[in-house]
Chain A
Amino acid sequence: MNAFDESAINKFKSYFLIFCFTLVIVALGYVFGMIYGGGNQSIIIFFMIIAFIISVIIALISFYMGDKAALSMSKAYPANRRDHAHYINSVEGLAIAAQIPTPKIYILPDEAINAFSTGRDPKNASIAVTEGALKKLNRVELEGVIAHEMGHIKNYDMRLMTITVILVGLIVLLSDFFIRGMIFGGGRDDNRELNPIFLIIGIVLAILAPIIAQLIQLAISRKREYAADAEGAILGRNPEALASALKKIKKDGLETKHASKATAHMYFSNPLKKGFWNNLSSTHPPIEERIRRLEAM
């Protein structure tokens, strides 16, 4: 399969994802409307419209401003040609290899070895690596990391992940809304007439939907990391360099500052500390498995 197909498949997946999650959101809106509105049509429609408007607004904001927010949250500053000629040249070279415009080039003030890319499409993309990566990785390893990020940009991964995060967030929000309503706003008279089956469906949905949505999000994220490693190997023609960079990160073992659960999925390697819960809910596949796959290429 060539890389062009990969980005086409990804675009299709984005639309499919939006479709599926929209169904879930509308279903949530409907069930919650039934419970709180007691079967009253106009209240149900009101709930669904509210859910829809919230999702559209959040989607638009994060679609158009998500990259700027991510860059400012991580305290990124632009690279200059005087001090970072090799870094800039590598990004420009790999953009040529990927046949996309050169992304905006940033540096993150952080000693850990890491990198991320962001932006809704290749025309509006940014790439950032940490000071630690510039210092500790050799030239080919740095190129390997940049090639991986270029793979994300070329394949429209940021669009897919941004959309996923928003939709999952919305499902979590709606479910939270519902459960809080059950606890604090319960005991209204019109609830009495409601079919108890709806109440049970509502509770089950409110508990299960966010968990399943988050698991789907994590599965997608991990899959995109493998794909970006593969794409990076195709672009840079040097999977060993990427594997060697991953080994250095593993040995280094530093935690990336300014990274949180909200932004973890964007990074080259998992920026968060290892722990039972973080491993279970990781946005990245295990580093050993990534190295193994790269070395097998």
Chain B
Amino acid sequence: MGPIILGIIIVIAIIVLYLIIAYNRFVVLKNRIDNAWSQIDVQLKRRFDLIPNLIETVKGYAKHEKKVFTEVTAARTAMMSANTMQEKAKANTQLSNTLKSLFAVAEDYPKLQANQNFMMLQEELSGTESKIAYARQAYNDSVLSYNNGTEKFPGSVVAGMFSFKQREFFKTDETEKAPIKVKFE
């Protein structure tokens, strides 16, 4: 009797311990996704706030380039009304493209190019752009490791028990830099 009961207790203890560890691991991975998502939001907001300033500065030198201003403003408004992840991703790409054409137009105005304020805004915007890309990369990497965890056995059982569902990737039309496979040894 004794050893059998002891064996059963040990097996149950191991299973419970595994459940706790696996559950906590999923929570950590999920939090990392949420955290990465809020980073994307912060950077999108930052870019959103920089744009009116940029338009004002460019207008001072290139008043008649109306078409590009309306395009950027429209894309910015679309960004504001975007709610779901896919909408945001789409609006973000749209805004990036219109900004690119704005900076292309600005190249025809040497005085604008030499403006201190414009140079700073350009640096800030390109910095924010790359931060958005890094945040998206962190988000998608986090989603990937979380989703892998929910699919692989025996993690998949735990994920099913506590309903950890698969998460969506932040997809864009821009060419994604593929994750790099690296061996540490």
Asked whether, in the complex, the Cβ of A234 is within 8 Å of the Cβ of B134, the reply is no
Task: Name B's A-contacting residues (CB within 8 A).
Answer: 32, 35-36, 39, 43, 120, 123-124, 126-128, 130-131, 133-135, 137-138, 142, 145, 177-184
Given contacts A6-B184, A297-B180, contact A85 B120 (CB under 8 A): yes
Given contacts A93-B134, A96-B39, A237-B137, contact A86 B123 (CB under 8 A): yes
Could you say which of B32, B145, B177 contacts A237, with CB atoms under 8 Å apart? B177
Q: In the complex, what distance in Å separates the CA atom of A238 from the CA atom of B179?
A: 10
The 8 closest A-B pairs by CB, nearest first: A89-B127, A97-B134, A237-B177, A230-B182, A93-B131, A85-B123, A93-B134, A96-B134
Asked whether, in the complex, the Cβ of B145 is within 8 Å of the Cβ of A97, the reply is no
Q: In the complex, what distance in Å separates the CA atom of A115 from the CA atom of B108?
A: 38
Given contacts A2-B145, A89-B123, contact A237 B180 (CB under 8 A): yes
The distance from the CB of B158 to the nearest CB of chain A, in whole angstroms, is 18
Could you say which of A85, A96, A99, A234 contacts B179, with CB atoms under 8 Å apart? A234
Q: In the complex, what distance in Å separates the CA atom of A227 from the CA atom of B182?
A: 9
Most buried by A among B32, B120, B131, B179: B131
Interface size class of A (residues with CB under 8 A): 20 to 34
Instruction: Name A155's closest neighbour in chain B (CB-CB).
Output: B184
**Interface residue SS majority, chain A:** helix
**Interface residue SS majority, chain B:** helix
Instruction: Name A231's closest neighbour in chain B (CB-CB).
Output: B182
Please indicate the chain A residues that have their CB under 8 angstroms from the CB of B32 in the complex. Answer: 99
Instruction: Name B133's closest neighbour in chain A (CB-CB).
Output: A93
Our count of residue pairs bridging A and B at CB distance below 8 angstroms stands at 65
Most buried by B among A89, A94, A98, A231: A89
- A249 part of interface (Cβ distance < 8 Å): no
Asked whether, in the complex, the Cβ of B35 is within 8 Å of the Cβ of A93, the reply is no
Please indicate the chain A residues that have their CB under 8 angstroms from the CB of B134 in the complex. Answer: 93-94, 96-97
Please indicate the chain B residues that have their CB under 8 angstroms from the CB of A90 in the complex. Answer: 127, 130
Could you say which of B124, B133, B142, B182 contacts A234, with CB atoms under 8 Å apart? B182
Given contacts A96-B134, A99-B35, contact A1 B183 (CB under 8 A): yes
Please indicate the chain A residues that have their CB under 8 angstroms from the CB of B39 in the complex. Answer: 96
- A277 part of interface (Cβ distance < 8 Å): no
The distance from the CB of B168 to the nearest CB of chain A, in whole angstroms, is 19
Given contacts A234-B179, A234-B180, contact A89 B131 (CB under 8 A): yes
19 contacts between A and B (CB under 8 A): A6-B184, A85-B127, A89-B123, A89-B124, A89-B128, A92-B127, A93-B134, A96-B39, A96-B134, A96-B135, A97-B134, A99-B32, A230-B183, A230-B184, A234-B182, A237-B177, A237-B180, A239-B180, A297-B180
Q: In the complex, what distance in Å separates the CA atom of A227 from the CA atom of B183?
A: 9
Asked whether, in the complex, the Cβ of A86 is within 8 Å of the Cβ of B180, the reply is no
Interface bits A230-244 vs B (CB < 8 Å: 1, else 0): 110110011100000
Please indicate the chain A residues that have their CB under 8 angstroms from the CB of B184 in the complex. Answer: 1, 6, 226-227, 230
Q: In the complex, what distance in Å separates the CA atom of A90 from the CA atom of B178?
A: 20
Please indicate the chain A residues that have their CB under 8 angstroms from the CB of B137 in the complex. Answer: 97, 237
The distance from the CB of B160 to the nearest CB of chain A, in whole angstroms, is 23
- A4 part of interface (Cβ distance < 8 Å): yes
The distance from the CB of A6 to the nearest CB of chain B, in whole angstroms, is 6
Q: In the complex, what distance in Å separates the CA atom of A96 from the CA atom of B133?
A: 10
The distance from the CB of A150 to the nearest CB of chain B, in whole angstroms, is 11
